[in-house]
Structure formats: structure tokens, C-alpha cells
Amino acid sequence: MSIPEGSHTIGPSNGSLKVKTGKEGAAAKMGHNLTLDVKTWEATVEGGDSPSIKLSADPSSLEVESGEGGAKPLGDKDKKDIKKTIDGKVLGSSQITFTSSEVSGSQAKGDLSIAGQSSDVTVPLSVSGDKISGSIQLNQKDFGIKPFSTMMGALKVTDQVTVEFEGNLA
């Protein structure tokens, strides 16, 4: 199905943008698979004869929504420490952006910029009525990001993360 005609603005009030991480290493049982919620973002989705998608997200707005697994549940202090690490050591302050070069009903191709480095990506899309959604797996190293590790490398965030989004086009 194609994107409905017109210009559609999506953000936290009518959509969600989440990042899911994994863990690896000898001490992986100690860590958590995280779901991070992007709190400040906006996407403009154009339908019609020349469909396009533009997205901008503030990397400092990522917050820990949940953590699965781990030796103990994530507390508020843990969540604050993770946010501080993301802001200071992982993503920095450069806006995260995506600008499409081609959009069909099932995918958007374009330039994704994270932590000041860009890469061409293809994002699978699903459009159903006035809803748009998608999910893409990205390798942090493709954007010059060294996956976070602790305990002398015994616990690491996997290089591959999953970005999921959904929004209302009405």
C-alpha cells in the first residue's frame, strides 16, 4: 500500500521511535537487553506522486524504557548512568537524520546520519491505512560508534542494534 496523499508530521505525540540493544561477552548474563525510547524527534512523510521521508532525532533525548535479563533489575541510577554513557561516549550531540532518496510502498532508501557519520540505508516500511511502521537493523561500527563495553570487555553491547518506528499519518 502507498503512503496517503499529502504531508504528514509524525513525532512522539502520534508515534514512537525506539532502539533495541543486545549484549554479549563472558559476562553477558549480568547485562540487560535495552529498549531505548527517543523522546524528541520529528518525521515528515510526503505521500502522492513523489513520496519522501525526512526524520530528525535528538540523540540526547534517548531514555531507557526497559531492560530485559540481567543479574538484577535496572534501577533509576542504572538508567541515569546508561543515559550519561549514551550522551557522553556513544552518540554525542550530532542530530540523527534520515533523508530519503527513493520511497516505495515497502521501503525507503536514503542517507542516515548518526554521530556525525552517514551511510546509505534501505528501511523496510509497512503502510496500512493511516499507519506507517518499520524496523531496521544497524551496525554501530558503520557509523564510527564503538559499542559500549564494561568489565574490561567481559560485557558488551552488541554491534547490531534494531531501530523500530511507527506513526499515525492521519
pLDDT (tens digit, 9 = 90+) per residue, 4-34? 899 999 999 999 999 999 999 998 889 899 9
CATH architecture classification, 7-168: Beta Barrel (2.40)
pTM: 0.90
Q: What is the pLDDT of residues 111-164, one digit of tens each?
A: 999 999 999 999 999 999 999 999 999 999 999 998 888 888 788 899 999 999
Residue 116 has, within 13 A of its CA and on its CB side, a CA count of: 7
Q: Which of 10, 71, 9, 60 is nearest to 37 (CA)?
A: 60
Distance CA 3, CA 101 (A): 15
pLDDT at 150: 83
